[in-house]
Amino acid sequence: MIQDFKKEIEGLDAKAIISYVNEKWGDTAVFSTSFGIEDQVITHLLDQVGREVHIFTLETGRLFPETYKVWNRTLEKYGLPIKAYYPNTERVEKLVTEKGPTSFYHSIEDRKECCHIRKIEPLQRAIKGYKVWITGIRAEQSANREDMESVEWDEVNQIIKVHPLFHWTLQDVESFIKENNVPYNALHDKGFPSIGCQPCTRAILPGEDFRAGRWWWEDKSKKECGLHRTTN
């Protein structure tokens, strides 16, 4: 199935890829947005090609105020329904009660536990039952992502993943946003190329890696929360 998918979209641009998914997979396809600059491009394209694909976001409870602002602006501009998935209340309460509100700073294991509760488990609920998952991943975002492919099988979640912007550069994304007047997170203008939970994200310094602002207190190699781990 993956090879057929690759052949069908070979040579297509991002809009055509999204249109293909919308037409072929319809409401069995889902798009995850964190309202980052790449995801805003995809939302804009989904608005142009059709409204069959479902859209969701992970409301971790630790987002930046600027993220909520662009979330509202996105709803106002496109009118596309965006379903919010929250972490399990009991699990969050247990974590914070036992380890405090900033346990993620203590160790990689504690940080991954927080990510699992606030992001991974809600994601698993969000994509359950769907056949195709659209993401805003670009190859140049990190060394780990360069090893990925534009279409791949996610063994962990048993779903096809497609990354329409996989070969786009940051300049491509920024130019598209400007030319099409797409709402975007103001933090991108303040040195935040990647925006996640507020306590775990900072602006990067000139010359730093794209992902340097995420979990900056940890070793810099392959820093991921686990959302896009495709094998066990």
Rounded to whole angstroms, how far apart are CA atoms 114 and 60?
Answer: 10
Provide the 8-state DSSP code for 140: G
Rounded to whole angstroms, how far apart are CA atoms 72 and 76?
Answer: 6
- Directed axis angle between helix 2-9 and helix 14-25, to 10°? 130
Whether 43 contacts 78, CB under 8 Å: yes
Q: Which of 118, 8, 12 is nearest to 63 (CA)?
A: 118
Rounded to whole angstroms, how far apart are CA atoms 115 and 229?
Answer: 13
Rounded to whole angstroms, how far apart are CA atoms 80 and 162?
Answer: 20
Rounded to whole angstroms, how far apart are CA atoms 200 and 210?
Answer: 14
- Told to judge if 225 belongs to the known catalytic residues of this protein, a careful annotator would answer yes
Q: Which of 129, 130, 115, 131 is nearest to 228 (CA)?
A: 115
Rounded to whole angstroms, how far apart are CA atoms 133 and 138?
Answer: 15
Angle, CA 203 vertex, CA 201 and CA 208 arms, to 5°: 110
The structure tokens listed for 195 are 């925006």
The active-site residue, picked from 114, 197, 200, 225, is 225
* Residue positions annotated with a catalytic role: 225
